[in-house]
Amino acid sequence: MPRTRLTRRFAIALALPLALAATAFGLAACTAQPSASLPDGLSVRVQQGRLDIEAQRLVVRLENDGDEPVTVERLEVVAPTLTPGMVRDEPFEVAPGNALQIRLPLSASECGTDAGSETPAPEATILLQVATTSGRASSELIADDPHGTLARIANSECLAESVDRVAALQMPEHLRSTGSGIARRAFIDVDIVPEASGDGSFTIDRVYGTTLLNAEDGVDWPLGTQVAAGGDPVTISLPVRPARCDAHAIADDKRGTILPFEIRTSDGREGRLDRSSGDTLKAELYAYYGERCALQ
């Protein structure tokens, strides 16, 4: 009897690892291993609409010109001009012959800290993990950038960083105005508050008019205002008028109260830096537009 029990225990001990090995082999044989290549017909590009610029989002447009649906399980944007972390890991499907636009919050720009340092070349690599009826694949695609979106983002964000090291550029909370009705005149008083110390500087060459607002005596506001760290605060008064009197302009407005400042910095950056109006200023500008144009 004892010998029988020993034999049975030996048989169980021997059978268990064999069964586990067979199960593991079977699972390995049934599990689809990721392929190194993506399905044919996939292409990507990066872009931004006007609202995406204001919302600080990057649009990744994924197009499927292949013959079968593709489920994207993970998407990541990698670019030398952007810090890591732009990931979408919520699966989505792109049908054959279709395209989807995925919006991702923009990560911070990589600008370099030394004066005169160059921004890295703006190119985006899109890392993809996808699944089709043929199995799974993980690889990367270089994104097309037909409108120079990445270069514009890098220039804008790095210009803003250079400016902020010198001074704060602040839109007012309220619109200043005189008179009433069609005789009313208004001014946007922009405060510039330099940092207490530092050796940087910048020049505001002009402020551009918008689709909604222009300078009182023209379209843009030519300035040539120089600002240096450690200097005194400055207020720039911009006399403003409606760009045109159109009853639909306010209803259709998206960026009419965002002022573009043309700026050159001492560390070699230049371009347009947008400053948005707060809710109160925006409402007062809309009211002024309606009153000056006799639309109310």
| Amino acid 22: pLDDT | 43
78-112 burial, b if ≥16 CB within 10 A, otherwise e?
ebebbeeebebeeeeebeeeeeeebebebbebbbe
Distance CA 234, CA 168 (A): 10
Judged against a pLDDT cut of 60, whether residue 92 lies above it is answered with: yes
| Amino acid 26: pLDDT | 44
Task: Specify the amino acid at residue 230.
Answer: G
Query: Residue 3: which pLDDT band, with cuts at 50, 70 and 90?
Result: very low
Query: What mean pLDDT value characterizes the chain?
Result: 87
Tokens linked to 235: 């207020």
| Amino acid 36: pLDDT | 57
DSSP secondary structure code for residue 109 in this structure: B
CB count in 10 Å sphere of residue 75 = 22
Q: Which residue has the higher pLDDT, 175 or 111?
A: 175
> Alpha carbon of 113 to those of 20, 93, 110, 119, 200: distances in Å?
57, 41, 9, 10, 12
Q: Taking residues 249-255, report their average pLDDT.
A: 88
| Amino acid 37: pLDDT | 84
Q: Taking residues 87-111, report their average pLDDT.
A: 96
Task: List, for residues 11-40, the tens digit of each pLDDT value.
Answer: 334 344 434 444 443 444 444 455 558 999
Task: List, for residues 177-209, the tens digit of each pLDDT value.
Answer: 999 999 999 999 999 999 999 889 999 999 999
Q: Taking residues 36-48, report their average pLDDT.
A: 91
Judged against a pLDDT cut of 60, whether residue 5 lies above it is answered with: no
The predicted model scores a pTM of 0.75
Q: Are 204 and 236 in contact (CB under 8 A)?
A: yes
Query: Residue 121: which pLDDT band, with cuts at 50, 70 and 90?
Result: low
| Amino acid 98: pLDDT | 97
Q: Taking residues 242-262, report their average pLDDT.
A: 92
Q: Are 197 and 230 in contact (CB under 8 A)?
A: yes
Query: Residue 158: which pLDDT band, with cuts at 50, 70 and 90?
Result: very high
Among 23-27, 48-52, 263-267, the minimum mean pLDDT is found in 23-27
Would you call 231 helix, strand, or coil by DSSP? coil
% the chain with pLDDT above 70: 84
Q: Is 74 exposed, middle or buried (0-12, 13-18, 19+ CB in 10 A)?
A: middle
Domains detected in the chain: 42-147 (2.60.40), 167-292 (2.60.40)
CB count in 10 Å sphere of residue 280 = 12
